[in-house]
Structure 1
Amino acid sequence: MPNKSKSPNGPQAKEKPYACDVCGSAFSLNFNLARHKRIHTGLKPYACKVCGLTYSRNDDLKLHMRKHTGEKPYSCGVCGLAFSLNSHLNVHMESHTGVKPYPCEVCSAGFSIKNDLKRHMRRHTGEKPFSCEVCGYAFSINSNLKAHMRTHSGVKIYNCEVCSATFARNSQLKLHMRTHTGEKPFCCDVCGCSFSRNDVLKLHMRKHTGEKPYNCEVCSASFSRNSHLKLHVRTHTGEKPYPCGVCGSAFSRNDELILHMHKHTGEKPYLCHVCGTKFSRNSHLKLHMRTHMETKPYSCVECGFECSRNDELKLHMLNHTGEQPYSCHVCSLLFSNNSDLEIHIQTHMIEKAYSCAECGLEFSNSDELKLHLENHLCGLPCAGNSNLEVCSETEVEEKPFSCGLCSSAFSMKTDLEDHVWMHSRTENDSKISES
């Protein structure tokens, strides 16, 4: 039986006959010793029915439940602010005294509580004594470690009263609530834009200051955001982590993949409110909107032609320069714009049912064959084509338009132009058949 003799300090002093065999701590009641031993064993028999967190003591569970119920029974008599723990109220009361007996020796900051000074000093020393046992991530404040541990457990004890969103940290809930209230307390002093988060305001300010602290190690490019730098680096590495599940095309950015998917789905989410035309990209809609505007900012220096889009002006300028930058990969025929090239490409894909009996060339329609047969006239038979007559049997008429490539002549200039085109066509088809 434990010794319960009175202490030499007086009859009021409690005896502590129950000692912990692990650390030596002593207690006056066996119940308190049993509760203390849970610290060493890790036993936590008291579980929260809301989020599943467990505790070694029932009173700790009761205090925890106030996070779910929102109960704050301790209120400040000066400002009315309420707290769930009396210890938090005591700490808060120090802020009303104005006394800060604990100054920082590094900077000019002062604190009313010694523990606050200790936490502050870790900013200068970089000390992070609280380490996560799962991933090794370290923190300077224990409360931050506790909040971090919820990312591993998946426990989210802070619930939004407006929607069903849940959060692991109270600070995250507070930021989320601004999406419902529309509160934007962080205002730009330059342009007046306001933001719900201070870190977003800091990023915004770089637009005004021009600060770009994130530099590419490969080239001289710099960026105001780290996320922008990461995207840029992929242009050097060639990394394209976003593949299309339909055709296999890969992209370096997710938004590029989303735009690409519109080609497969046919989705055109951007609607012109003037004429109802739909577009798959917002940039295309913006260009289209200029067609409804009276102003046409792009004008040709050669002839004064005006248009609403720069790409229209570039196409127009080809009329003056004669440039033909679009080449057919089959026959090398050149075109001044891509749309004409695409139309031309179809001629290589169409079945050619009409063939020339003289040279064997094939054509997709009878009109092209007729034009081609003119090359075999002037002494050559017409290969039995019933729609053509031999030259000697035709009525002689004036033909002032002569072909510079052969002896053919025509009464109309348009016929000559069609005939010359057939020379280029014949030459191109010959190249194809030889290859």
Structure 2
Amino acid sequence: MDSLVNNCCVCLNNLWPSNKLSEKDENKISLLNKLRSSVPEIDWIINYRICEPCTNLLTIVYNFRDTCLKSDNLRKEQALNQESKSKVKQEILKNENVLYLKEDNKNDQELNCNRVSDDGNNAIDSEEDDYKTDADFNIVEDTKKPVKRKRKFEFQCEKCTAKFSSSKHLVKHCVSEHGMTSKEVRPFVCTKCTSRFANSSNLLQHIKYHEAVRSNVCSYCGKGFITKTDLKIHEKQHLNMREYSCEICLKSFNTHKDLRSHKLVVHTDPELWKYLCPYCNKKFPIKSNYDGHMRRHTGEKNFECHLCYKKFTDKCVLQRHMRTHSNVREFRCSECDKEYKEKRVMQIHMAKIHGIGIGEIKLPTKERKYICHICPKAYYARNKLTRHLYTHSGEKPFFCSICNKKFNDKSYVKQHMKKTHNESQL
């Protein structure tokens, strides 16, 4: 088996030049990701290599699969859009009165109102006709000219109990009675939450998030999104064209949202930041930062790792944690081919070792601020100090699952398992 390590991982031959699976195409998609996407049944490892003929064949398979998925997603999206539009209309009209115009065409009216009796005189319509209800007007005798119906919408003011038949009347009321601007008025209300919107199209987009159908799939990484807009914003990160420039410092960004966040964080006076923590009075420019900060106060941890069930306060922290469970190193130094799990770690390596991008990235400065209260030793990280304190207390919280031997450091357990029991993993 060892003789096949350097062979092509597909055809197992070494007759042609081969490529590393970490290599990426013009769309920045690695060969490893293409293999995992095309043939997910096999556990592809980044250390494998693939020959040129198999690389060409893989490209054809991957492109074919990608085309099929895009077409299928387009079909689903069209169907979902029709369904969502129908649902929005039902939600908007759920609690609204529907009035029907009792209008027939002139020919029908003449026939109904001027019926001629058998003796040639005009006769009055029967009592049954006189007592027709609104529901009876739904029955259309002349299929060529159906009964016209007019729907009356009801918009309720968010400041008081006043109701209106049109959004324009509601806006006029809010401006004159409550001193609101026309842009502040949001007539369309979501029936599933308290959100309000200025128009029905924004409400339609909002309801899609309640349905949470991620039918828009990124062609670069396979990640799904609820709306086309979210997908386009995400794909701009892959293209990295940086079309949005800050007029103050000329720094460029991939999306308008990133530019707006940059201006709020860097170029706005912190006193003007509108999100204030009620616990420590710290201000934040962006709501997502404020929400994450509040979870640290409350201890709320909504993001859980499905492998080790460890919980985290922020999604980005969970994503960083997930990399610890994987051996995939997608970021490679262009100078020495050293590979890393995180982009920032690679950038720090390139700045420190090769002097590339020193002005663009802030190099971390280490300080031994965790000092032992028993001896003069100091450490860079809190967990290192905790391990050190075990040597003073004699506590050994880590033990071997095979022979129950105890250790004061988890790394010692791994060494023991490997040397004594020939086990590479716990």
* Pairwise TM-score range, normalised by the shorter structure: 0.3 to 0.5
Provide the TM-score with structure 1 as the length reference: 0.38
Provide the TM-score with structure 2 as the length reference: 0.39
